[in-house]
């Protein structure tokens, strides 16, 4: 299949591109390199440096004629979304609309959208949260992701475009940037490898559902091959506190540095944990990488980076 991955030079997108190439799909990548890195892009993929809001994007659609779109291009920094909600909306809402309009115009069959479980649900009332949980985002990033899901539903109804929204929990792993929801793993790993004390926002008792990037790629491929449509959580169903995460990373890396605590981060939720039963029933997908193993593999990646 001809697959276009927006944000394909980013953390999750580049791993997905590698898998698509490995499975012999014809892959093209669009990324403006504002946060992504050109060196991450698989050399067998066709790379285009372009903003998803620019007119260049249509040229890519016209040339590549993709059958499938995997939309990972986004403004992913929660704190920046709080400081500049207009910029967040321009990238995450208007950028997505440009992709959807072009998808209809050039006959794309399916669009897979990288959404966010933690940000969309806001403060959870039940744990783990199913897709039926009320969505009350507490930051503009979450609002823009929820709006994106609604636009996918609209295009599915109005034009017959097949769509799936994947609500990721906190994705971590090699190539991770320190800006996303699970950026804490990248930040802590690099800080501890330098022998410096990690800084924890607030008490550190806030919890997250950490999922390894390889499992997220598996989820994308499962949805792609199954033809499943709708909204799906992608998580492990397990909560881990930031304090416990820090302790686990210290053990994995082999350092004994006392952490420091700073003020709470604006727009940060207290607990997050996702129920991925719907995705499992639709595709038989299950996460396979235990947290400690994933952290070990992530720490080893950053150990090589910092050499």
SS3 186: helix
CA distance 92 to 178: 19
Residues linked to residue 207 through DSSP beta bridges, in sequence order: 241
Residue 159 · residue 101 · CB < 8 Å: no
> In terms of DSSP bridges, do strands 207-208 and 240-241 run parallel, antiparallel, or are they unpaired?
antiparallel
Distance in angstroms between the alpha carbons of the first and the last residue of the chain: 39
Please give the positions annotated as active site: 141
Cβ-in-10-Å burial (0-12, 13-18, 19+) of 192 comes to buried
Residue (of 118, 120, 168) closest to 12 by Cα position:
168
CA distance 151 to 166: 14
Strands (E), 32-94: 46-49, 68-71
Task: Match 């992709």 to its residue by tokens.
Answer: 99
Residue (of 42, 181, 48) closest to 114 by Cα position:
181
* CB neighbours of residue 225 within 10 Å: 11
Residue 71 · residue 166 · CB < 8 Å: no
């Amino acid at each position: 299949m001809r697959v276009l991955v927006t944000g394909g030079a980013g953390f999750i997108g580049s791993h997905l591109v590698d898998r698509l190439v490995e499975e012999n799909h014809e892959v093209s990548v669009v990324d403006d390199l504002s946060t992504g890195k050109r060196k991450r892009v698989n050399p067998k993929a066709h790379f285009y440096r372009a903003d998803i809001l620019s007119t260049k994007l249509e040229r890519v659609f016209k040339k590549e004629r993709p059958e499938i779109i995997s939309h990972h291009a986004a403004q992913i920094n929660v704190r920046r979304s709080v400081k500049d909600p207009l910029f967040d909306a321009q990238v995450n809402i208007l950028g997505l609309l440009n992709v959807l309009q072009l998808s209809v115009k050039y006959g794309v069959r399916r669009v897979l959208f990288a959404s966010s479980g933690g940000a969309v649900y806001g403060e959870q009332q039940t744990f783990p949260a199913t897709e039926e949980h009320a969505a009350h985002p507490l930051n503009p990033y979450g609002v823009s992701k929820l709006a994106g899901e609604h636009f996918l539903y609209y295009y599915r109804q109005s034009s017959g475009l097949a769509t799936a929204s994947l609500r990721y929990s906190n994705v971590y792993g090699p190539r991770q940037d320190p800006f996303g929801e699970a950026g804490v793993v990248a930040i802590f790993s690099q800080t501890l490898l330098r022998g410096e004390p990690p800084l924890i926002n607030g008490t550190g008792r806030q919890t997250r559902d950490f999922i390894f990037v390889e499992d997220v790629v598996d989820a994308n491929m499962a949805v792609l091959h199954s033809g499943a449509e709708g909204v799906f959580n992608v998580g492990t169903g397990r909560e881990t506190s930031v304090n416990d995460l820090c302790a686990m990373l210290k053990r994995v890396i082999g350092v004994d540095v006392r952490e420091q605590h700073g003020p709470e981060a604006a727009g940060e939720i207290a607990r997050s944990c996702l129920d991925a039963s719907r995705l499992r029933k639709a595709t038989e997908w299950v996460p396979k990488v235990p947290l400690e193993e994933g952290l070990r593999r992530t720490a080893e990646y950053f150990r090589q980076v910092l050499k």
